[in-house]
Structure 1
Amino acid sequence: MAPLVALCWLFLLNSVLSRGFHPLKYVDPLIGASNGGNVFPGASLPYGMAKAVADTNSTSNQGGFTLDGAVVTGFSTMHDSGTGGSPSLGNFALFPYKNCPDGDINQCVFPKRSRARFGAFSNGSVTSKPGIFGLTLDSGIRADMTVTQHVSLFRFSFPPIGSDGEPAQPLILQDLTDLADSRQDNGTVSVDSKTGRITGSAKFLPSFGGGNFVLHFCTDFKGADILDNGIYVDSRASTSVKDLTISRSINGYPLPGGAFVRFKSADDPILIRTAASFISVEKACSYGETEIPDFHFTKVYDAATKAWEQKLQPVRVSTKGINESTLTNFYSGIYRTMINPQNYTGENPLWSSNEPYFDSFYCIWDLFRSQLPFLTITDPVAVAEMIRSLIDTYRHVGWLPDCRMSLNKGYTQGGSNADNVLADAYVKGIDGGINWDDGYKAVVKDAEVEPYDWCCQGRGGLDSWKALGYIPVQDFDYKGFGTMTRSISRTLEYSYNDFCIAQMARGMGKLADYEKYTESSSNWQNLYKADQTSAWWNGTDTGFVGFFEPRFLNKTWGYQDPLNCSYLDWYSSCSLQNSGRETFESSIWEYGFFVPHDQATLMTLYGGPDAFIRRLNYLHDQNITYIGNEPAFLTVFQYHYAGRPALSAERAHFYIPSFFSPTPGGLPGNDDSGAMGSFVAFAMMGLFPNPGQDVYLITPPFFEEVNITHSLTGKTARIRNVNFDAEYENIYIQSATLDGVAYTKNWIDHSFFTQGKELVLTLGRNESLWGTRDLPPSLGK
């Protein structure tokens, strides 16, 4: 960012702050902390590496903490948010005791599974705000925590008298476990007999990929005199032994082990500063000493609050007539878009580079649809750094990742969807030091070269893709290896990936490539079976004909029930199993709409706009789709392409707040690193992206006015509703103006944000002719 622009931006933020607008009052990090939302509800900075929270033993503890009746097993400093699959991170958990019975350390309980019985707490004791988290255990111990970029600061407050009537002599342990109990051999821990500093390292497994990673930590204490310290193995401890190297054990569960410090009294809170590093113990200790030198809890929390205030300030809405729950739903969604990915710059031991390094892309199959496009509007500087990180990963690993966590390759779910992310940023003019020549080389490699392990990068089946124009079911692929399923969804996604590459090629003047990839972007049509019917399992015909179906190498047709893998199908395997279907986490019915670049041709195949709308209505009204999974997002707004934007507005108001509410159980599925949050934020803001294209579909915002200030140009885009009512009866656009000129398109482009334009929507209670003719761009007509 140029110095003058940066100064102007800071002036703008300070001006807004001085006027008393504080969006953090409307953020509730606990939304999604139960009912499978899997969010991280603890203390973090925007994109921060340190993420402190209490960990519970819930089966839905992928983000660490839950509000589902599970109990606390520890307090740890590394987490991800909203993921599915195995729990992620949660390394080197702390756990406090008021004292050990009879003063005997061996009567304190050390193993994680056993100490869970001391981890009960009341939901009413939990506090969670951006930058801080806390709760009170039923034992009377209060735990509060806040963070800097790499360091967590915990504050444990103890009752002065223990349960046995003796003065408290708190013991705080730190173990070598993680949420998934994935620790491998040769974890190490040491405790300094004088200072109580605990240091250590261990090797763990990532939650949704191959490989492993080594993490180091450094923990210091302040607030009370040390009585003694030592290490523990399994259920026994020693104050005379200060160093431990521990194996995993032989029964598939890591042998409990770690260190502890015991204190003489609990007159004052005990502060614990713990830092983590993927580089070394020494670097972890350095982070602690430089980022939190004085253990000043309030100072650290204030800094975290200011960081979040600045990130949320660009989006301001009118609160007139709006209840607080609506505002909380909106701003909490925005907040969750900035938890993951995480900025690990300077923490990548795999290669040496001056480029940023971001981790925790869970997964780009989820994130490309709305989360990263949302950040392109609200935080383009961070998006530029993420793009640079993705391209730098390509330089050193050889491929753009489709999923990446804990320094490891994650599993590829569909296509090479980082192509969509790069194209989305490119067509919207994101720069920020990005080497777009290297970016283009990366996406072309995805399209042209098959990796040996397309389980985790690139695309498989490229010989068939080029020869046949589709991915066959039971493909013969001897060049690379991955799960031989998903032939339909991969074909459709590869088609869109190629379209995105074509957009970059056109912008770079590579016209031959533009024509080539535009042509292959129509390969989706090769799996369209015009006479295919769909019936319910009781034999009742749905009444629709024409669906995508798998095809073999010899071009004959296979078959998959179009309702398999739908929300109503509880029996099919639809993920990365070897027995999985030919669509990934979604049915043929739903993938039948995934042609984001050529809705016009798809609509023609389905019989025209009216037939397209009937089919889209059936998808939603019969619960074939489910808004708790990302493929449903764009289908809410695809009525725009049939000239019925009013129906998109109806669907948005159907799903919000019915499926998205500001409660712990208020998410319809796991948040997927902020994907659900971005859906809510976009829909309530009144604009939804078709990612990879310079297109935002217009619906009325849920507020009388929305203002989005661009952090690079300093200009404010405004959407204003005329005849707005907070009961949402007037949700149909009657007319519109853009910068005072009549506007009939039902979409806008990214210049709306960068140039600070004003869109005024006049609303009414009935559908009008507005937006029915000037439709979003499509390859076909």
Structure 2
Amino acid sequence: MPNSTPHSAFRLPLLLLLLSLLSLLANISTALAAHADDGDDILRLINPLIGSTNGGNVFAGATRPYALAKPVANVDGQNTGGFATDGSKVTGFSAVHDLGTGGNPSLGNFPLFPQVCPQSGDDGVNSCQFRIGDRAPHYVNDSVVAEPGRFAVELVSGVKAQMTSSEHAALYRFEFPTGGGGDPLVLLDLTDLWQSRQNASVSVDAFTGQLKGNGTFLPSFGAGSYVMHFCVDFHGGDVRDNGVWVNNRAGTEPKSLYVTRGFNLFFVEAGDWVRFQNLANNTLTARMGLSFISTEQACNHAATEIPKPLTDFDRLVSETQDAWRQKLSPISIKAGGASEDLQSSFWSGIYRGMISPQNYTGENPHWDSGIPYFDSYYCIWDAFRVQHPLLTILDPVAQSQMVNSLLDIYKHEGWLPDCHMSMCSGLDTGWLERRRRAAIIQDAEVEPLEWSYQGRGGLQSWKSLDYIPYLDFDPLGFGTNSRSVSRTLEYAYNDYCLATLAQGLGKADVYDKYIQRSTNWRNIWKEDQTSAIQGNDTGFKGFFQPKYMNGTWGYQDPIACSALADFCSLTTNPSETFEASIWQYQFLVPQQISTLISLMGGDEEFISRLDFFHTSGLADISNEPVFSTVYLYHYAGRPALSTKRLHTYIPSRFRNTNDGLPGNDDSGSMGAFVVFGIMGLFPIAGQNVYLISAPFFEELRVTHGVTGKTATVRVVGGFDPAYANVSIQSVTVNGEPWTRNWITHELFTEGWTMEITLGAEESAWGTRPEDRPPSRISGS
């Protein structure tokens, strides 16, 4: 999402993860090899540059699944993910990044920058350029190569760079132009993309040119700071000289440097440099190890994972590609004539969904519980809707490890996180059950002092008034006192998911308590509220509105914070809804959609409102809260309209192009939305419900990573790749008629076969009240 900041109080993501993974704690089994329609290597269809401009903020560089090391070029333009195809300038090459974040750029620490310094009178090093604004050249547009395991680019200076990676280390090849008139130099900059460095140190070995050091930085979201360590060594040439640089000056003495921000927070540009001569084939190889623990561990990562830097490049690329083939292996398709562009969007979406969160096992400087540890959750408010449900299907073991990591964070920090960036703010089943229930109930019942990034705020009012009030009086904890409407809706669904968990555990009293609280959203529904656009009444009545503590109504224009108005940021213009309008949030009642439909006037009025929302400019497909609204026609008994609505967004807003994402990818959420759309299924996160729509391929198969059983979704009776026939006429599951317009997760765990017959005209399939998704709480 643009300028994304997480919703501090959204506890639903953890509930989703916990509810989804009760039985997924076994080791992954061998799965089918992933393949495209023609059986070719699936990696040829992955395009890491999708979303590399237009605010997609993707990571386009080299990485293994969930790995720490992520080398790519850093640019001075759209640099949230490091690199962008926006024609900006390259400021360096960094080995750590995040994928698809909004707001402040994330990571990008300790970039290396290669250059050939002009000859000067005394041949001094100060003919080189050191500061970012001075040194950065454009890149050659058609030189960019991005593929799983390798990234390459040529600078207009003539320097060519390519890079690959292992789990914790990056390997660079810098090819310098011939006849450059000077000796090649590589500098290391003690900075990150955000220039958040608080202090840093570096030293250079006078004889080998090895660089060691660390720095303290701020996370792109969250409290506190983190320390990252690096270790760089060079191969393929002789060291001529080296030293340190500060701002735009450099020297050969001293050989070490420490920089900090003074009392006025002045930011000093500084680092180390090494100049080389006698390069073989004008090429210099640089190996960089990273660690959150120590410089020694960073050096050890580099030495053990890349023991032969001059010859390991191709091996690393090959091993990385094999790792991706294995991760993609649970799924295979028969495209049935669907375009390669659509196939590329599909496979690239899965690929991006397995880049973050990152596996930091052995790299947590605060504790080691002896289990796999994942971090870089940015942010679960975005990712819970589709990315984590997708991982639950395609990589359940990694997903269960992520859940265990979140519970481990709760164990050591006392709260489940909304976001957990750069570590800033086996289990036996019995332990896991106790821990997950305790963690979720604490979030529902105990307010932390600082609820901007963990826990819930306003719990005193939530319990006594049954809604979050406008201008709430909340002396128990502190956070941005806004979002009263969206927090009320989200807390209600959080409590519904908690009730569902309690029901599964046989805790009737807990279930009764939280199922009642899950209906609190009704308390902010204002039945006579209208909405106008530029003075013209939309014709719809009844919207959510903020409510004061005394029960009287406040007011927020229902179109505020929509695509027709100003974007609402948590920090710049907080409102009573978060990053979306009341028009969008009016549909966020997944536990009681049937009740919502009644409040809106019945099925036809609900459909009319959905249509208006999606055709008036109010719907913002660039932000995750809108995803489910594409499919809500199912709840009104018109599943065919969901598929038709989906086709207005795919592929028009999700394409196999550099600008092919409508908003930032948010750890792969945009890509996961595309994947589910093409599969013909949409998850209602936190419930055992997948809404069925028309697939974009003739057949998809998914082999479950724990049970080993293969689910099949197949179009029968003729598949139309022109998509004139997108209305479901009938469905069978395991050969038996299936009239419900939704299905459960057993499709994947039990390996069911779902066969779908499509036609041009809307049919009666899935339209009866008894065939609609569950959406009413008993007694409501």
* TM-score normalised by structure 1 residue count: 0.93
Kindly indicate whether the alpha-carbon contact (under 8 Å) linking 2:33 and 2:332 is maintained by their aligned counterparts in 1: no
1:649-664 equivalences under 5 Å are: 649-664=643-658
* CA–CA distance in structure 2, aligned partners of residues 376 and 474 of structure 1: 39
Q: Aligned partners of 2:436, 2:738: CA distance in 1, in Å?
A: 35
Q: CA offsets per residue over residues 156-178 of structure 1, 9 Å max, x none?
A: 1112320xxx3x52111111011
> CA separation in 1, counterparts of 2:177 and 2:263?
40
Partners of 2:648 and 2:400 lie apart in 1 by 34
Structure 1: where are the runs of 5+ without partners?
A: 410-429
Which residue matches 2:620?
Answer: 626
1:286 is aligned, of 294, 300, 315, to 300
| Partner secondary structure for residue 435 of structure 1 | helix
- Say which of 135, 141, 150 aligns to 1:115: 135
Letter in 1 for 2:85: L
Equivalent residues of 1:43, 1:132 under 8 A apart = yes
Structure-1 residue corresponding to 2:763? 768
Corresponding residue SS for 2:59? coil
- 2:33–2:329 CA contact under 8 A, matched in 1: no
Alignment TM-score, normalising by the size of structure 2: 0.93
Q: Deviations over 1:420-449 (max 9, x none)?
A: xxxxxxxxxx99898122011101001000
How far the C-alpha of 1:692 sits from its partner, in A, is 0.3
Partner in structure 1 of residue 113 of structure 2: 95
What is the 5 A alignment of 1:733-744? 733-744=728-739
Q: CA deviation at 1:254?
A: 2.1
SS across alignment from 1:637: helix
Aligned residues of 2:727 and 2:758 also touching (Cα < 8 A): yes
Aligned ranges 1:315-714 → 2 under 5 Å: 315-409=331-425, 435-537=432-534, 539-570=535-566, 574-577=568-571, 579-714=573-708
Q: How far 1:248 sits from its partner (Å)? A: 2.8
The alignment status of 1:730 with 2:746, answered yes or no, reads: no
Ranges in structure 2 where 5+ consecutive residues have no aligned partner: 1-20
Q: Secondary structure at the match of 2:253?
A: coil
In structure 1, C-alpha distance between the alignment counterparts of 2:627 and 2:417, rounded to whole Å:
23
Whole-Å Cα distance in 2 between the matches of residues 97 and 332 of structure 1?
33
Contact in 2 for aligned 1:715/1:755 (Cα 8 Å):
yes
* CA–CA distance in structure 2, aligned partners of residues 15 and 376 of structure 1: 17
Partner amino acid, structure 2, of 1:750: H
Q: Which residue of 2 aligns with 1:30?
A: 49
Give 1:44's match in structure 2, choosing from 41, 58, 63: 63
CA shift for structure 1 position 536: 1.5
- Rounded to whole Å, the distance in 1 between the matches of 2:249 and 2:139 is 26
What secondary structure, in the 3-state scheme, does the structure 1 residue paired with 2:687 have?
Answer: coil
Structure 1 residue 6: deviation in Å? 6.1
Q: How far, CA to CA, are the matches of 1:497 and 1:15 in structure 2?
A: 36
CA distance in 2, matches of 1:255, 1:589: 46
Name 1:427's counterpart in structure 2.
none
Give the drift of 1:355.
Answer: 2.7
Task: Tell me how far apart the structure 2 counterparts of residues 15 and 64 of structure 1 sit (CA, whole Å).
Answer: 29
Q: Distance in 1 between matches of 2:573 and 2:107?
A: 29
CA distance in 2, matches of 1:456, 1:743: 43
**Equivalent residue number for residue 183 of structure 1:** 197
The alpha carbon displacement at 1:114 in A equals 1.4
Identity of aligned residues (%): 53
Q: Deviations over 1:294-334 (max 9, x none)?
A: 11100111111101111112111113312211111111111
Change (3 A) 1:775 1:489: same
1:75 aligns with 2:88: no
Using the alignment, how far apart are the partners of 1:600 and 1:431 within structure 2? 39
Q: Determine the C-alpha separation between the residues in 1 that align with 2:27 and 2:367.
A: 31
Deviation at 1:228, TM superposition (A): 1.6
8 Å CA contact 1:384, 1:434 repeated in 2: no
- 1:601-638 deviation per Cα after TM superposition (whole angstroms, max 9, x unaligned): 11111111111111111110111111110010000001
Give 1:249 deviation, angstroms.
Answer: 5.2
Are 1:160 and 1:267, in contact at CA under 8 Å, matched by a contact in 2? no
Amino acid at match of 2:45: Y
SS at 2:162 equivalent? strand
How far off is 1:238 after superposition?
1.7
> CA-to-partner distance for each residue in 1:645-690, whole Å, 9 max, x for gaps?
0000001111001101111111101111111010011111110000
Q: Give per-residue Cα distances to partners, 1:467-501, cap 9 Å, x unaligned.
A: 01000001111000000100000000000000111
Q: Following the alignment from structure 2 to structure 1, what is the Cα–Cα distance between the partners of residues 465 and 371?
A: 39
Distance (Å, rounded) in 1 between the aligned partners of 2:428 and 2:614 = 38
Distance in 1 separating the partners of 2:482 and 2:600: 26
Question: CA offset at residue 505 of structure 1?
Answer: 0.5
Correspondence list, 1:44-63, <5 A: 44-58=63-77, 60-63=78-81
| Distance 1:140-1:278 versus aligned 2 partners, 3 A rule | same
Give 3-state SS (helix, strand or coil) of 1:672's partner.
coil
* In 1: Cα distance, 2:335 partner to 2:615 partner: 32
Q: In structure 2, what is the Cα distance between the partners aligned to 1:754 and 1:52?
A: 36
- State the alpha-carbon separation in 2 of the partners of residues 319 and 593 from structure 1: 33
| Corresponding letter in the other structure for 2:101 | T
Residue number among 194, 212, 230 corresponding to 2:243 in the alignment: 230
Contact 2:35 2:42 in 1 (8 A): no
SS in 2 for 1:51: coil
C-alpha displacement of 1:256:
1.3
What does residue 161 of structure 2 align with?
143
Using the TM superposition, give the Cα deviation of residue 63 of structure 1 relative to its aligned residue in structure 2, in angstroms: 0.3
Q: CA RMSD in A?
A: 2.0
**Contact kept? 1:83, 1:673, Cα under 8 Å:** yes
**2: CA distance between counterparts of 1:444 and 1:628?**
32
Q: Structure 1 CA distance, aligned partners of 2:631 and 2:368? A: 43
The residue type equivalent to 2:544 in the other structure is: F
CA distance in 1, matches of 2:352, 2:295: 30
User: Which residue identity lines up with residue 131 of structure 1 in the other structure?
Assistant: G
* Structure 1 contact 600–780 (Cα < 8 Å) conserved: no
Structure 1 letter corresponding to 2:134: S
Provide the secondary structure at the position in 2 that maps to 1:171: strand
What residue identity is the alignment partner of 2:84? T
Q: Secondary structure at the match of 1:275?
A: strand
Q: Which moved more, 1:86-95 or 1:220-229?
A: 220-229
- Rounded to whole Å, the distance in 1 between the matches of 2:354 and 2:555 is 41
Q: How far is 1:251 from its partner?
A: 6.2
Partner of 2:269: 256
- Residue 256 of structure 2 is matched in structure 1 by 243
Answer yes or no: is the 8 Å Cα contact 1:154–1:272 preserved in 2: yes
Q: How many residue pairs are counted as aligned between the two chains?
A: 747
Structure 1 SS opposite 2:651: coil
Distance 1:132 1:432, change over 3 A: farther
Residue 106 (structure 1) aligned with residue 126 (structure 2) = yes
SS in 2 for 1:404: coil
SS of the equivalent of 1:154 reads strand
Partner amino acid for 2:105? P
Distance 2:581 2:43 in 1: 39
Partner of 1:749: 744
Residue aligning to 1:778: 775
1:170 and 1:265 in contact (8 A); partners too = no
- Cα deviation, 1:409-428, whole Å, max 9, x if unaligned, reads 3xxxxxxxxxxxxxxxxxxx
What amino acid is aligned across from residue 211 of structure 1 in structure 2?
Answer: G
* 1:751 counterpart letter in structure 2: E
For 1:331-351, what per-residue CA distance to the aligned partner results, in whole angstroms no more than 9, with x for missing partners?
111111111111111111122
Q: Show the 5 A alignment for 1:269-284.
A: 269-284=283-298
